[in-house]
């Protein structure tokens, strides 16, 4: 049966009763509380608008938080780097501070969508969308980032390792809560990190596989002190290969180490079969390649 | 449904009107303001045909709630020509190089190129391709489009 023109996805508009633009965080949280779950936060809107058009989500009101002052900066606070909840991918990708202290995050942020998407899409939104291979979630997970979540009753800090619950689901309730800051330690002298992305094209495409690695090593002694390996989509949530990380503690810097780590890590990965972005088998094989390549590259960047 | 009063600068002119909270910027421009130079392609933020400049920065107008432009400045393809009607260097360069086949992506290509040359008057091939990576040409005529941006940069330079 032919679809009527008005029923095509292309013609569908968003459907909300109210579009609210609070001027302060307190006002925004108050508005959300008043709607008791039937309003939703919108920032860049690059995920929310297509979801609303496709009727994947339905809400009465949108609370646009982009006019809240003081949440759009990238700051250095001692050894920590703090991203405000409204910082965009374009800001991160062009920040000198991020390039010097967290190159892997710059690489991830610069891979999202397209220039137009990166200009409005926020890094906080990338986290809140909860996709298993989000281009900034993976490096931030490897950087052991912590997020601050505000609601009407106050705020709480949650490490990213405890933030993601399932595909598209996090501990944050986007009908009542706002992610206000993302905090992590910049890479130190003995640390190197990298971001790897496997995709069909260089632009405008979701990844088949991404990996972020951070390695802390004593290059003179040739010993790895600790390593963090985050990957996606190899599980329903952004994944930390903790068994491999544990094994790498104190291991010598060598190709044999990287190969053993890759073989071990591959066993942990259970990616989905995707007709568009690779079979489970292929992605598993590539996860092995990426772990080896990622560790080697992270080590090579130490001190550079 | 609660209507919104929206005031913003459009191609240098102040505009004020009432809109539904569901209005997306591309529809406001095309249906309410009859500026049909901005194209609605995929309507999902993928193809970039709907690109406009928001405070000078390229954005996809098809997934941008119109309420977001309150108090801000929007430039569309109609706003690029000089006051005497003469086309901008980039528009001239696209004509000169024949950088359009069906022409549907052209407004998006030109808006992204405009923003690029504003910040980087002499971009290299890589920088041009990077800045146009969010605008798809399904006639696949990218080579002439990239050449047009190079030419526009040279035209700007020679005019000082």
Taking alpha carbons only, the member of A213, A207, A210, A211 closest to residue A227 is A213
Q: Does residue A58 sit at the B interface (CB-CB below 8 Å)?
A: no
Q: Are residues A100 and A151 in the same domain?
A: yes
- Asked if residue A234 has a cis previous peptide bond (ω within 30° of 0), the answer is no
Q: Which of A10, A120, A204 sits opposite B59 (nearest CB)?
A: A120
Let me know if residue A11 belongs to a domain.
no
Query: Which pLDDT belongs to residue B140?
Result: 78
pLDDT exceeds cutoff 90 at A30:
yes
More confident residue, A65 or A270: A65
Q: Are residues A131 and A240 in the same domain?
A: no
Which ranges of chain A does DSSP label H, i.e. alpha helix?
25-35, 48-53, 89-93, 96-101, 103-109, 115-120, 123-128, 137-142, 242-248, 255-268, 280-300
Cα distances from A197 to residues A158, A201, A289, B54, in angstroms, run 26, 10, 12, 30
Of A136, A157, A186, the one marking the end of a domain is A186
Q: Are residues A206 and A240 in the same domain?
A: yes
Cα-based angle A181, A185, A188 (whole degrees, multiple of 5): 160
Give B65's DSSP letter: B
CA-CA distance, A35 to A166, in Å (whole number)? 25
Query: Which pLDDT belongs to residue A135?
Result: 96
Q: Does residue B45 sit at the A interface (CB-CB below 8 Å)?
A: yes
Is the Cβ pair A53, B43 closer than 8 Å? yes
Q: Are residues A120 and A101 in the same domain?
A: yes
Closest approach of chain A CAs to the CA of B61, in angstroms?
A: 9
Q: Which of B22, B68, B133 sits opposite A203 (nearest CB)?
A: B133
Query: Which pLDDT belongs to residue A230?
Result: 97
Burial tier of A88 (Cβ tally within 10 Å: 0-12, 13-18, 19+): buried
Is the Cβ pair B21, A66 closer than 8 Å? no
Q: Are residues A182 and A66 in the same domain?
A: yes
Mean model confidence pLDDT for chain A: 94
Domain count, chain A: 2
Q: Does residue A66 sit at the B interface (CB-CB below 8 Å)?
A: yes
The secondary structure of B92-140 as a DSSP string is HHHHHHT--SS-SSHHHHHHHHHHHHHH-SS--HHHHHHHTTTS--TT-
Let me know if residue A2 belongs to a domain.
no
Of A156, A186, A216, the one marking the end of a domain is A186
The mean-pLDDT minimum among A160-169, A243-252, B135-144 falls in B135-144
Q: Residue B5 has which token pair?
A: 């009063």
Domains, in order of start, for chain B: 4-79 (3.10.20.30), 89-158 (1.10.150.120)
Q: Are residues A257 and A199 in the same domain?
A: yes
CA-CA distance, B19 to A207, in Å (whole number)? 37
Q: Residue A254 has which token pair?
A: 């060598």
B15-22 mean pLDDT: 96
Q: What is the pLDDT of residues A36-51, one digit of tens each?
A: 999 999 999 999 999 9
Q: Are residues A160 and A56 in the same domain?
A: yes
Of A186, A217, A240, the one marking the end of a domain is A186
A8-32 mean pLDDT: 92
Q: What is the pLDDT of residues A144-157, one digit of tens each?
A: 999 999 999 999 99
pLDDT exceeds cutoff 80 at B155:
yes
pTM: predicted TM-score of the whole model, two decimal places: 0.95
Of chain A, the percentage scoring pLDDT greater than 70 comes to 99
CA-CA distance, A112 to A135, in Å (whole number)? 6
Domain span at A126: 17-186
pLDDT exceeds cutoff 70 at B65:
yes
Q: Which residue has the tokens 């595909």?
A: A167
Q: Is the ipTM here above 0.90?
A: yes
- Strands A18-20, A61-64: pairing kind: parallel
Closest approach of chain B CAs to the CA of A282, in angstroms?
A: 27
Q: What is the pLDDT of residues A84-97, one digit of tens each?
A: 999 999 999 999 99
Let me know if residue A284 belongs to a domain.
yes
Query: Which pLDDT belongs to residue A1?
Result: 59
Query: Which pLDDT belongs to residue A114?
Result: 95
Let me know if residue A129 belongs to a domain.
yes
Closest approach of chain A CAs to the CA of B134, in angstroms?
A: 5
Q: Which of B22, B27, B60 sits opposite A16 (nearest CB)?
A: B22
CA-CA distance, A248 to A31, in Å (whole number)? 48
């Amino acid at each position: 049966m032919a679809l009527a023109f008005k029923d095509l996805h292309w013609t569908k508009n968003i459907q909300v009763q109210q579009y609210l633009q609070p001027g302060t965080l307190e006002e925004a949280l108050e508005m959300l509380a008043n709607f008791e779950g039937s309003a939703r936060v919108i920032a860049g809107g690059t995920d929310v608008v297509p979801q609303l058009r496709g009727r994947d989500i339905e809400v009465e009101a949108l609370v646009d938080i982009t006019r809240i002052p003081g949440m759009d900066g990238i700051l250095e606070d001692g050894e920590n780097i703090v991203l405000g909840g409204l910082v965009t991918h374009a800001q991160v990708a062009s920040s000198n501070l991020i390039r010097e202290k967290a190159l892997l995050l710059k690489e991830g942020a610069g891979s999202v969508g397209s220039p137009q998407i990166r200009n409005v899409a926020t890094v906080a939104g990338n986290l809140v969308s909860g996709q298993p291979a989000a281009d900034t979630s993976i490096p931030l997970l490897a950087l052991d980032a912590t997020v601050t979540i505000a609601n009407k009753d106050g705020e709480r800090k949650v490490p990213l390792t405890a933030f993601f619950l399932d595909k598209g689901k996090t501990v944050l309730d986007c009908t009542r809560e706002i992610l206000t800051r993302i905090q992590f330690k910049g890479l130190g002298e003995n640390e190197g990190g990298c971001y790897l992305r496997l995709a069909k094209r260089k632009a405008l495409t979701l990844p088949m596989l991404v990996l972020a690695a951070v390695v802390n090593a004593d290059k003179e002694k040739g010993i790895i002190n600790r390593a963090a390996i985050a990957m996606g989509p190899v599980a329903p949530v952004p994944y930390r290969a903790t068994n491999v990380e544990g094994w790498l503690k104190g291991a010598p810097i060598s190709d044999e180490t990287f190969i053993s780590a890759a073989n071990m890590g591959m066993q942990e990965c259970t990616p989905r079969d995707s007709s568009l972005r690779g079979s489970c088998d292929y992605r598993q094989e590539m996860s092995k390649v990426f772990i080896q390549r990622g560790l080697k590259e992270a080590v090579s960047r130490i001190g550079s | 449904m609660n209507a919104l009063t929206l005031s913003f600068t459009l191609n240098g002119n102040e505009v004020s009107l009432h809109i539904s909270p569901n209005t997306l910027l591309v529809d406001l421009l095309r249906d309410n303001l009859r500026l049909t130079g901005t194209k609605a392609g995929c309507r999902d933020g993928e193809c970039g045909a709907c690109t406009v400049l928001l405070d000078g920065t390229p954005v996809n107008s098809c997934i941008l709630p119109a309420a977001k432009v309150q108090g801000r400045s929007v430039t569309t393809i109609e706003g690029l020509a000089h006051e005497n009607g003469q086309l901008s260097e980039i528009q001239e360069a696209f004509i000169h190089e024949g950088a359009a086949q069906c022409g549907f992506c052209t407004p998006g290509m030109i808006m992204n190129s405009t923003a690029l040359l504003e910040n980087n008057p002499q971009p290299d091939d890589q920088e041009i391709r990077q800045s146009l990576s969010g605008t798809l040409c399904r006639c696949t005529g990218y080579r002439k489009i990239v050449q047009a941006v190079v030419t526009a940069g040279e035209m700007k330079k020679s005019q000082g």
